[in-house]
Amino acid sequence: MKLKLWQIDAFAEKVFEGNPAAIVSLDHWLDNALMQRIASENNLAESAFIRREGYGRYGLRWFTPTVEVDLCGHATFASAWLLFAELDRELDSVSFETRSGTLVVDRGADGRHSMSLPSDIVAPLDEPHRARDIGEVLGAVPPLELHTGRNILAVFDGASAIRALKGPGEVARFIPADKGLIVTAKGDGGYDFISRYFAPHHGVAEDPVTGSAHCALTPFWAKRLGKKTLHARQVSPRGGDLQCADAGDRTILSGNCILYLRGEIEC
């Protein structure tokens, strides 16, 4: 069996930037174990599988190298970019049916498309021992605040502190098995906020640019800064920019994608 595959850098202005996602276009869903093996072989933070279900409607599933996940923003964005650019060029909007409901991406006139995702409103987490442990394992002073939602959100004092954090180390010991860790601070250099994201339980030590994490970061910083539209930077080693808008129960993310490769899988 031969399957077509594209690798696309999401939230990137040039190749080797942003977050790479593998996109596999299917006529029918494969066996779950086979999709997981393909994702493991790709060895990217996310592999997305798409299947056409009707005009402007596609099924979409996401796999890390180790598990299927409920939500992945950058691979959704990359999937839409591929449809608009190559596979379904007449579309101005695409709806993806996913484990997180219907996700919509709208074509942008300048190639910078917009994606609507469910917001993740975090709640304060009063656990000073966990904060100390997280700070210690990341090689930093403890975060000023902890919050919880779909992930643990740790707020640090200043952008320089986020950039200086060492890798995730053994941070998995201090976050629940179903969550990742978002670290964030108020931005600098024209950015409203910056962040990094670690998901060791999902086989991703540090994710380059994480759309789903911004579903928590956007409403959090929108409220704190009194702004509805924010310019964000994820300061991973690859790095990437996002335009974020707080729309209440939805978060709107905008950015660019770059094609890295087209290929064919033999399986």
Residues known to be catalytic: 46
- Only one residue has tokens 């098995």, namely 177
Rounded-to-integer distance, Cα 11 and Cα 18, Å: 5
- Residue 190's CB is within 10 A of a number of other CB atoms, namely 7
- Give Cβ neighbours of residue 129 (< 8 Å, ≥ 6 apart): none
Nearest by Cα to 11 from 74, 91, 98, 90: 74
Rounded-to-integer distance, Cα 107 and Cα 231, Å: 20
CA contacts within 13 A on the Cβ side of 85: 17
Query: Tokens at residue 216, please?
Result: 């928590």
Rounded-to-integer distance, Cα 123 and Cα 4, Å: 42
